[in-house]
Structure 1
Amino acid sequence: MASTEKSKMENLYGTLLKWATDEMKFHASAQNTQSGFKLPSEEDFKFLCSGPLVDIWKYVTQHVKSVQNAKLIKGNVELKRGLQVAGPQSVTSEDERERRQLLNQQKSRILRELQQAKAEVVQLKRELGHASEELAGTELAYQSVSQRVRDLHHQASLLHVVQACAAETEARYEEYANRLDKCVEEMTNKKENSQENFVSGSLEEEDEELETESCHMVRQACENISNLINCTLDSDIDEAELESRKSDAIDRVERAAAINSTQSLLRALAVNADHGAKVLRQKTSSLDISKDAQEISFSYDPGEGLRDLSSPPSATDTVRKLLLTSSEQHVFRWFKEQEHKNEEWKLSSRQTETLEEINKLLNKVIGDHPSHLSAAKSYVTSRVQRAEERAVAPCLRKEAARLVERIAEAQEKREELLLKYSKIQDFQKLVGKKQASISQLAKLNAAAPERLKSRRQQVWDYLESRSLMTHLTEVQTLPTHLKGALISELDTFMGLLLPCFLTLPIDSHTRMCALDLSLSPTIYALAQEKIQTYSDICKALEFPAHKSAECLHLHVLSLHTSQRQLVAAQKQREYTATAALRAAGKMGDLNDYIGLRRIAEQHDEAQKAKLLPPLKEGMALVQKHASEVDLLRKTVTTWWDQPAQWTTPWVKNGDMTFDQWMQRWRMAMTQVHSKLMARKGGQQ
């Protein structure tokens, strides 16, 4: 008898297991495990079939069907009922009956396959839904981890940048301090050893005067600055020469400022300004503005219109003037020639008379000696010829000098004309090059509209082929997030407390912030600012106050896991209740829900009347104890603020007490803040 019962129980256990897996489609998949459902083991099925629920499980395995099989059975029953109602309308032959029976069997088989396929499709959709949920959870976890990694990287980069900026600023200020020290030392030395040395003036001046060395250096610096300004206004000068003159001017100014004192520089500037004003007055004294204005004046004639009086005359007037000038010169030359001829005739006549008188005198004196007379005549003739030749030589020299001068003037004019001709040729070449460039640009711009149109069409095609909504969103949100990000980060960094940077070794591989430890309120007084937020978080998460803060992460993970399990169990219960109501055909009956709601309201009222008074008493007691704890906390905080906290020798980190770290932190923050304000002032 016992063996029979045992065999029946084993058969029932196998039937129930087969019903759960084959009929109800329960499988231990990853999605079901994640959602909170777990298929019972064989021992669990044996335990279920061994109790007083044997009859219930027999009824369940025999009568309870899945939704897909129930639909299939109902469809077969309706089909059979329809066939029975329709009935044979006419007597057919045996072959026709067999053919119809075969078709009905094929139809039933196809319908069963169709229902089975539908059930498999529903099962696949359910598994796909679970897979999508799992994928969404995994994606959310991945995004959270990647966001955290980005935040850590951003914080590390920001700290690195701030550190580098602080080091650079510190080095810059050290350099500025060294320069100031050098300047102060040089000014002190200049004031102690100030003496004026005199040097000669510029070589360009006609009268070289003595001037002080400071005036000489200031004048040279001013001349270099004027040359630099002229070079800047000149468009033909290259960049290298401009930089060289700029560096020369800066060197001159720095040398003058380094050697001379301030008073000597001011005196030198005053003397240089006075000297420049005097030179400018001398150069401008020869200018006649009224005369220049008359020369460049205009006249207005109603017939001819506006006419520039300073413009050159026409070619006809110029030729007429040249002809008149040449005629006048020719007349003057003819008059001079006639004067010279008259003077020559007069001199020739006087020479003839003088020679006759000399001959008469010789004849009278030595007429008796013919040889002596001829010799005396020849001597007189030679002396007269010699005198004539001597008189002609200076004239010839003067004429030769005048001709040489005219030749030199003509040579200078020829060279000037050649220079002008070369400039004209260069200008023509430049004009040709410019004209060629303009022609090339015109040819290039001729096809520019077509190229611009094609490029514009390519850009529009690219914009139409790609969606720019995400790019527009990123472009709009990125400046919003980056606006003032560095300043806010620096302000936040400056407002950090010193204990935020103090870390304590937990083990050989782990270091933790001092404020994250559960003992931080008893060690650091500044942790009281953080303890309020920490207490609120622990109260909201029901985290025990005696545990350390490093256990809070595990507690949050366990709460998250339990919450997901509760949500999965709730969904499973809702699904089971919905399936049971659908099988019982009571999905649309609202009276049951209304009755259940009334029963629940009555139960809630009874529980409220029973539990509300003790709860109020407990709340009053808790508020009383909370006020006492608050008073005790204030008393302890007041005691902690006393000087006794500084006498604890164990409160050290890096061989420094808390007070020493605080002083060092305040000094560092003050220096950083002052440097940032100085930089902002310099940028403004």
Structure 2
Amino acid sequence: MADRNLVKELKRWATEEFYLPPDILPNDSNLKTLCAGTGKSIWKYIIQHVFHQRNVRIMRGNLQWYKVIQDKELVQTKGQSEAAKRKELQMKIEQLKGEISHLDSQISGTEEQLATQEQYVSQTWAQMEDSQSRELFLQAFRRRCTLNCNLLSDDVQKISSHCQVLEQMEQSVETEVLFDDDSSSSRAGDDLHSQTVAVAQVLRDLKELSEDRVNFYQSLQESELKTQHSATKNLTREQRMAVFQYWLSTAEKVLGSYPPSHILSALQYMAAREQREIQEKVASLDVTRDAAALQFRYESNHLLDISTEESNELPPVKTLLEAAWDEVQQSLVELSQTRSRVLQLKNLLQDRRKEAEEEMSGIFDDLHNETMAFRSAFEVELQCVMQAAARDHIRDRCIQLDQHARNRQEALRSLCSQWQSILEFRELVALRQEQLRGLIK
């Protein structure tokens, strides 16, 4: 309403002060545009302070010059006729109707323009919100992809390290093991020489471990039996625990330094050599004659309780060694079967992977980029599964072989203790024979 009054005042000021005809004046919309914003105060100031030169002179004489002009106009209009007034009123009415229709059209156009602008603003706002949400989703997806890439890179590094360890273990397992000095010396080449040296080191370490353990048990037996054959002092409980812990740490270090196949082969070689030595020693003994002579002399001796233990005598060493050798052969057969089973599982996994890759390639032909990502992830997961399965199988097999090696060590210790008892028995028989000879003389 204030804008309309200002437009009317501006038109009146232009027509009255500068005698401009109403036809050449701009329309109301242009005048509203001129009076919009900061132009409103400017035009108000101009209307109140800018006047025609004649009007300024009149204003000097009378400050209420507008009222004087209106009075003059009233005096002039009184002299006009009724027809002229009617005609003038009709012209004004027509002019007002035209202005009203023009204003209505401008209002409708403005309303349509406002509606289109509001629709455009709403669409722009929706697009902006959509773009912001898309940007947020893209940022979250980018962070997720970065995190997944970091995780995948870590997994790939772990898998590569595991692959290297497994390859080294596989290469060390597939290495030919030679324990015979003659056959190894007959071959030429630096590689075979270095291999023989490494194997000799494995055999030497295992011999040292076995000898240390046998000496420890002998010292324990001597301390329990309170014999005087050894010059060593009796060990206390703390010393025994310290010796046992030292031996255990040394054994763990040796077992971790060499491949299981080399350790198993060295143990088998040591068992076979001990078996040959025991067989040679047993063949050199005349146990029947010594036992018969001892049985004859037991009747009047304080060792008469030995005859009661004949029913509980230990099985022969040959039988124990044959049983141990059969178990070793059976373990080797199981190991070969396990390796063949691992190869079959690897082939089966490769076939399944090929089938899965074919299915995935048939399903995701339209999404090539995603297919490559899924395929790489699938291959990585398959490799992880295969390597985890191989690792678990190798770990279980290593545990079994370790347990088997420990059992073999226990068997060797028992054989050594039996051999020691045989030697003591021979010494006792020889002592009794010397005593009998002395009595006979």
Provide TM-score, normalisation by structure 1. 0.19
Higher RCO (CA 8 Å, separation ≥ 6 residues): 2
Provide TM-score, normalisation by structure 2. 0.27
Larger-gyration structure (1/2)? 1
